[in-house]
Amino acid sequence: MAYHNKLYKQLSCRDFGADCDFTVRAKTEEEVLEYGYDHSCRAHAKCGSSPKTDERMRSLITNVWV
Ligand SMILES: [Zn+2]
């Protein structure tokens, strides 16, 4: 029997067009964006947020039940 009782927001770097296996999963879109920006800065040297990037990230976020 499977338990699917928690909804998470998920975003993977690959969805974003990067050749990278990083996937972030968090409870809110805001957290996903926060982790996403952090990863982008550390791993891809793309630092700083913008409304346009926010929008793109939100559009790529998927809901997953864990
Ligand atoms: Zn990445």
Tell me, in angstroms, the distance from the centre of ligand 1 to residue 18's CA: 6
60 part of a folded domain: yes
31 part of a folded domain: yes
2 part of a folded domain: no
55 part of a folded domain: yes
1 part of a folded domain: no
* Amino acid occupying residue 23: T
Flag whether pLDDT at 46 surpasses 70.
yes
Domain count of the chain?
Answer: 1
Tell me, in angstroms, the distance from the centre of ligand 1 to residue 24's CA: 10
Mean pLDDT rounded to a whole number for the chain: 93
Tell me, in angstroms, the distance from the centre of ligand 1 to residue 19's CA: 7
Residue 24 exposed, middle or buried by CB count within 10 Å (0-12, 13-18, 19+) = buried
The boundaries of the domain holding residue 53 are 7-65
Q: pLDDT per residue over 2-30, tens digit each?
A: 666 899 999 999 998 899 999 999 999 99
